[in-house]
């Protein structure tokens, strides 16, 4: 297990301060300079799971309210909204400096039989034929300033293989449809609840980028201020995140300095395991000379 994977598993192992009060590490994981949105979502889900027994999350809906401060822990307060015969509902508030940085509602459901159908998985290049995120970044390291190069090349916990990656610094307008494969080998043997938390963490990766692609933009190019505004996720089936999953994303709309993005996550055998939706801020800003 790599240090980056161990770090992610540790930050999802929350400290219980009281019956419904938890503390999570604010630093580490995907970013060393800020709190990655998926980090807070995953910890909030872990806090909710800390108050639920015998049921798995089927949906969550979160709002990002303030930027997170990676220099201090995050406090998670769980409200036990309802424990019903079939469904359990929790509301989680993430707090730093005495203020909310995220609030989330999550619903948990007993296992029940029912009808089944799904849309088919798109046919794309398999992960073994694609370069890793680390390989792409290493090729572009000399284009990054000395100030940011160490963080740019830092080991990260999730293995990502983009099907049609954009040039980091000179992107051209492209389809909003955006596919990637991802997995975390260290997820092998994790509980179903932890598998959900890890997938929730990873579901924030590259999603907002779908609304940048048609406009020839990336975070590295500049000229745009981006931030996730909300995040919704639905779990459809058992997760084994140590295996490859296809994340297929698109952006049906951008406008009013916002972009709307959707995602579907499939197991490698084509089973649809989760669906995601997110709106993000896309605010034009002057490019620094």
Q: What is the pLDDT of residues 19-36, one digit of tens each?
A: 999 999 988 777 767 799
pLDDT at 141: 84
Q: Is 114 exposed, middle or buried (0-12, 13-18, 19+ CB in 10 A)?
A: exposed
The single-letter DSSP state of residue 241 is: T
pLDDT at 140: 86
pLDDT at 288: 67
CA distances from 122 to 16, 38, 97, 249, 275 (A): 42, 25, 44, 11, 14
Has 204 been annotated as catalytic? yes
Q: Which residue(s) pair with 94 in the sheet? A: 76, 102
Has 278 been annotated as catalytic? yes
CB-based contact 74:46 (threshold 8 Å): no
Of residues 203, 273, 253, the one with CA closest to residue 41? 203
Which residues lie closer than 8 Å to 119 by C-beta, 6 or more apart?
A: 264, 272
pLDDT at 23: 98
| Weakly modelled stretches of the chain, pLDDT under 50 | none
CA angle 75, 32, 225 (to 5 degrees): 90
The model's pTM is 0.94
Q: How many CB atoms lie within 10 A of CB 173?
A: 12
Question: Exactly one of 96, 210, 275, 278 is catalytic; which is it?
Answer: 278
Has 105 been annotated as catalytic? no
Of residues 32, 39, 34, the one with CA closest to residue 151? 32
Digit-coded pLDDT (tens) for 101-123: 999 999 999 999 999 999 999 99
Question: Exactly one of 228, 250, 251, 275 is catalytic; which is it?
Answer: 228
pLDDT at 138: 86
Map out the domains of the chain with their CATH numbers. 3-111+128-284 (2.40.160.210)
Question: Exactly one of 105, 166, 195, 204 is catalytic; which is it?
Answer: 204
pLDDT at 90: 98
């Amino acid at each position: 297990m790599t240090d980056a994977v161990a770090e992610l598993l540790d930050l999802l192992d929350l400290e219980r301060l009281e019956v419904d009060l938890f503390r999570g590490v604010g630093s580490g994981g995907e970013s060393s300079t800020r709190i990655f949105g998926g980090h807070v979502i995953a910890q909030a889900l872990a806090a909710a799971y800390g108050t639920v027994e015998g049921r798995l999350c089927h949906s969550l809906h979160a709002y990002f309210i303030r930027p997170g401060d990676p220099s201090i822990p995050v406090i998670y307060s769980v409200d036990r909204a309802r424990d019903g015969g079939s469904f359990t509902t929790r509301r989680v508030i993430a707090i730093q400096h005495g203020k909310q940085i995220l609030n989330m509602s999550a619903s948990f459901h007993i296992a029940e039989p029912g009808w089944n159908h799904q849309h088919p998985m798109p046919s794309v290049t398999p992960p073994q034929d694609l370069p890793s995120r680390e390989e792409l970044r290493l090729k572009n390291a000399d284009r990054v300033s000395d100030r940011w190069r160490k963080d740019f090349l830092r080991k990260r916990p999730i293995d990502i293989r983009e099907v049609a990656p954009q040039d980091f610094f000179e992107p051209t307008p492209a389809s909003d449809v955006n596919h990637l494969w991802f997995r975390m080998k260290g997820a092998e043997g994790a509980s179903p609840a932890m598998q959900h938390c890890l997938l929730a963490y990873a579901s924030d990766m590259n999603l907002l980028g779908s609304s940048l692609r048609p406009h020839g933009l990336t975070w590295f190019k500049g000229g745009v201020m981006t931030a996730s505004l909300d995040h919704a996720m639905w779990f459809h089936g058992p997760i084994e995140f140590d295996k490859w999953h296809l994340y297929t994303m698109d952006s049906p709309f951008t406008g009013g300095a916002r972009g709307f993005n959707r995602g579907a996550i499939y197991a490698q055998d084509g089973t649809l395991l989760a669906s995601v939706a997110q709106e993000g801020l896309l605010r034009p800003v002057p490019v620094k000379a």
